[in-house]
A and B are shown apart, each in its own frame.
Chain A
Amino acid sequence: MFTFAVGSGLSIASILLAVIVLAAMLIWVERRLLGFWQERLGPNRVGWFGIFQVVADMIKIFTKEDWVPPFADRLSFVLAPAIIMVVVLMSFAVIPFTPEIGVIDSNIGVLFVLAMASLGAYSVMLGGLSSNNKYALLGSLRAAAQMVSYEVFMGISLLGVIVLAGSFNLREIVESQADGWYIIPQCIGFLIFLIAGVAESHRLPFDIPEAEQEICAGYHTEYSGMKFGMFFVGEYLGLVLISSLITVLFFGGWLGPSFLPPIVWFALKAGFFIAFFILMRAALPRPRYDQLMSYGWLFLLPLSLLNLLITGVVVLNTL
């Protein structure tokens, strides 16, 4: 119970705590990094280097009025922010952090993550629909369109990895990368998954469902207080999840030279991708959503199918 092992209480508790605290800290990390990349300083007043900015934000968000608009559909309005937190946290269950730390050792890990990601779209759609607000509806409309276009090739781009590893189990995928990370044979799959992952976590440049400059805040226009906070933290949790998935699937998860413990290797790799996602937000402009859809259907989907085909041919020939 109180030792680190897959599925032990200590393991589960520390994953839950670490992931939520990390997601909250990312609010500060992102603002700071964005600041540096825009030749500013970012929040640096509260605590050392502004590290307690998160605490200040939390105090603000908890003491805010938790308002449900009278014209909203109350049940789904309240349900929507809970869904995103639950499904993203559920996805962390199958992520293998180290050989010892993890919640379950599932044979269908990859499928479970993809299923949870699809469920996450319900949060966005319900949130927009129940708000009874034009901008929110536009946001959820875009979210639905975006989900339809990226989820297909997101799944297909992972099939190359699964073919090479011969397993849906994320733990076995990591172990099979002991003699070479999948980034080398699957670099196209990696690029496609990276793009799909950005769209999945609604991050810039693909934050089309919430595009502030166009449609207020999109699906969470009507949300305030902790309900908004859950959407917000849910988005950062999604960012951590996608970075962890990239690490696990393409960059050998916890594997690395033994002078550092496995968890440090995992954190370093995932942290690199979190920083990369923030850099994308600082640098790239947002496409129109018809551009995203045609890019997805006409370019990335054929490319991912081609990648799968070539991987299949190579694997069959070397058997």
Chain B
Amino acid sequence: MFSLIRDTLLSQAVTLWRVFRKLFVKADTVQYPDEQPYMFPRWRGRIILSRDPDGEERCVACNLCAVACPVDCIALQKTETEDGRWYPEFFRINFSRCIMCGFCEEACPTNAIQLTPDFEMAEYVRQDMVWEKEDLLIDGTGKYHDYNFYRVAGKQVAGKDKGEALNEAEPVDVRSLLP
């Protein structure tokens, strides 16, 4: 009898009191459009293409991002400049398919493709969700300020011969017997 009263009335009364106290607790709600939440710098949002410190495109059109993309929303075509640099002829991201997983950023060997904290990308027309290279390219270096792929890689381009990259030894002449 006592346990019945305890279970039916007392415990319910305790619950009621505890919920009532929530009236004086500040609500957790962030009233979004009026009140902007703090977006962390590493938030995975809208994708951009960055430039190296010299202002050239970082993307070398290796297609690794397009391969890594689980929803196949990236399309690009490789081409070359006359001084030997590779770059994408077009670079297209269909943001209506993109799931902001960040795999492209992880796959990118040159830190070219990066995700930003911006997420407000709603459009009225579906075709407007497809972003071309000129929409994606930014003027800065993004999250990595000093990295310059052609300055550290062994790839030969105009103005930088074999062995002239940072931390790169002179090429060995394999046909010579001299030390």
Contact = CB atoms under 8 A, between A and B. Distances in A.
Interface stretch (B24-32, B136-144, B151-159, B160-168): B24-32
A295 B8 contact: yes
Contact of B20 (A37, A40, A191, A299): A37
Interface in A275-290: 279-280, 282-284
B107 to A, nearest CB: 40
Contacts of B8: 295, 299
A33 to B, nearest CB: 8
B23 A37 contact: yes
A38 interface: yes
Interface in B7-32: 8-9, 12, 15-16, 18-20, 22-23, 25-29, 31
B31 A41 contact: yes
Given A37-B22, A299-B8, A284 B16 contact: yes
B12 A299 contact: no
Given A279-B20, A295-B8, A299-B4, A40 B29 contact: yes
A40 B27 contact: yes
B19 A40 contact: no
A36 interface: yes
| Max count, chain B CB within 10 A of own CB: residue among A40, A280, A283 | A283
A36 B31 contact: no
Give the size category of B's interface with A. 10 to 19
B23 A283 contact: no
Contacts of A299: 4, 8
A295 B4 CA distance: 10
Interface string B72-94: 00000000000000000000000
Nearest to B15: A283
Contacts of A166: none
A37 B25 CA distance: 9
Given A295-B8, A299-B4, A282 B19 contact: yes
A36 B28 CA distance: 10
Give the size category of A's interface with B. 10 to 19
A35 B19 contact: no
Residues of A contacting B: mostly:
helix
B16 A39 contact: no
A81 B139 CA distance: 64
A282 B16 CA distance: 8
Contact of A36 (B9, B12, B27): B27
B23 A36 contact: yes
B30 to A, nearest CB: 10
A47 B145 CA distance: 48
Nearest to B5: A299
Given A284-B12, A284-B15, A295-B8, A39 B20 contact: no
A35 B25 CA distance: 11
B167 to A, nearest CB: 55
B31 A39 contact: no
Nearest to B28: A39
A38 B16 CA distance: 12
Given A284-B12, A295-B8, A299-B4, A279 B19 contact: yes
Contacts of A295: 8
A283 B27 contact: no
Contacts of B15: 283-284
Nearest to A36: B23
Given A39-B25, A40-B27, A284-B12, 19 more contacts: A35-B27, A37-B19, A37-B20, A37-B22, A38-B22, A39-B22, A39-B27, A40-B29, A41-B27, A191-B9, A279-B19, A279-B20, A280-B16, A282-B19, A283-B16, A283-B18, A284-B15, A284-B16, A299-B4
22 contacts: A35-B27, A36-B22, A36-B27, A37-B19, A37-B22, A39-B22, A39-B25, A39-B26, A40-B28, A40-B29, A41-B29, A279-B19, A279-B20, A283-B12, A283-B15, A283-B16, A283-B18, A283-B20, A284-B12, A284-B16, A295-B8, A299-B4
Interface of A: 35-41, 191, 279-280, 282-284, 295, 299
Nearest 3 pairs of A and B residues by beta carbon = A283-B19, A41-B29, A283-B16
